[in-house]
Amino acid sequence: MSVGEIDSKKFWEVANNKLAFFGAQFVQEIIVRSEGVYVYTNEGKKILDFTSGQMSCLVGHCHPEINKTIAESAATLDHTLSGMISPPVVDLAEKLTNLLPEGLDRVAFLSTGGESNEFAIKLAKCVTGNFEVVGLSLSWHGMTAAANACTYQAGRTGHGPMTPGSLVLPSPNAYRSIFRNPDGSYDWKTELEYGWSLVDAQSTGSLACVIIEPVMSSGGMLILPDGYLKEMKKHCERRGILLIVDEAQTGVGRCGSMFAIEEMGVTPDILCLSKTLGNGLPLSAVITSEEIDNKGRERDFLFYTTHVNDPIPAAVGSKVLDIVVRDNLVANSKARGKQLGDGLVRMMDNFKAIGDVRQMGLMVGLEIVKDRATKESDPDKAALLAKVMMKHGLNANLIAVKAFGGVFRMAPPISISESEVDEALAIIETSFEEVYYH
């Protein structure tokens, strides 16, 4: 069916009757094309995409070099036996590990973020001989068994017990935490110490790992405080357990550095990438040290899947890294993120509904409240704002879960231009004026 032949009424009848529910309400637009930082509907509406698809199209939609790579790869080398290795896989492994600090030297390529976290958790259990996994209370690591068990933001109801040994720490939230110093500033260190005292009390003495995001995106774009990840690493070292960092959304330039771990000064035992690495194709990576990889080998670690080290996504991942480095997109992410964050902060003078702005590179959170003094969230107004922004041509990706129903997550492609950020800020300001003053 061509774009011009789409019957909208029939389209939605079939969609609503044939597509299974997976947790999201469908945006009531039929998306037929995408290019750069925009997506287009069947009716010709142009929408500025501040979600990068599902936070994945790092260098923009339908990038011509990515398209060419996909076509050439599909025409020459589509899929292999999992035990066979092809040049695109080796090429990506070399490029990726060369960009990472020493101690992240061995890599496996998989399909999704959940799968990469599953691999990492299983590897940590295998090499430590322990089974307990510590996550953060507003984390999101995936929907597969072990990854879901350490996802605390949503998705825990209706299916019985989670994986045994799933323990939780309080998520650092500078805006809302009750842990405060005498001067009112956030006392994340005491909060972390208190959290670990509870974990230690619950543990059966079989701690294997901690898994953590540098920015808890689904938790409301919560950025780890300065020094937090270093302190977490010390807690892991004291207990002899592994630190897994999940950079599904923060990796490959998104946060104003090639990887967020660089900004935070920590080399984890295991690093997980996904989303941004494949620019929309299903590609993830698990990177660890030679020592941990060798221990896994010795202990018969197994994560043999159909699409491990597939050539087509590997070729795309390699091209993504080339584009990010060549086009200086890390610096662009930093500059455009500051532009966006500063623009939103300036709006706080005119719109008291903006409770907080959180920004690290091109990961930006905008929290909507009823009252700045009480910080009471206003998910209804936030939902209305999202609807009005979409009407004016901006998809700003409101989180649709109760805990953070008033927070917008913004993560446009890191190839976005200064003028496109200005365009988005103008739409956001117009939408606020329409919702609050008209």
Pairing of strands 132-136, 207-212: parallel
C-alpha 116/C-alpha 119 separation (Å) is: 5
Q: Are 373 and 26 in contact (CB under 8 A)?
A: no
CA distance 200 to 205: 8
Report d(CA 92, CA 41) in Å as an integer. Answer: 34
Q: Residue 348 in 3-state DSSP?
A: coil
249 annotated active-site: yes
DSSP label of 81:
-
Q: Which of 275, 319, 336, 381 does the annotation list as catalytic?
A: 275
- 169, two tokens: 């720490």
d(CA 155, CA 60): 29
* 12 is annotated as an active-site residue: no
Q: Where are the beta strands (DSSP E) in 257-398?
A: 270-273, 284-288, 354-360, 363-371, 376-377, 394-395
Of residues 122, 334, 381, 409, which has the active-site annotation? 409
**Is 213 a catalytic site residue?**
yes
Question: DSSP secondary-structure letter at 287?
Answer: E
Of 246, 263, 367, 420, the catalytic one is: 246
The b-or-e profile of 266-289 (16+ CB within 10 A means b, else e) is: bbbbbbbbbbbbbbbbbbbbbbbb
The amino acid sitting at 331 is A
Question: Of the residues 132, 213, 293, 310, which is catalytic?
Answer: 213
Catalytic residue among 49, 191, 249, 339: 249
> Does 409 qualify as catalytic in the annotation?
yes
The residues that are catalytic are 140, 213, 246, 249, 275, 409
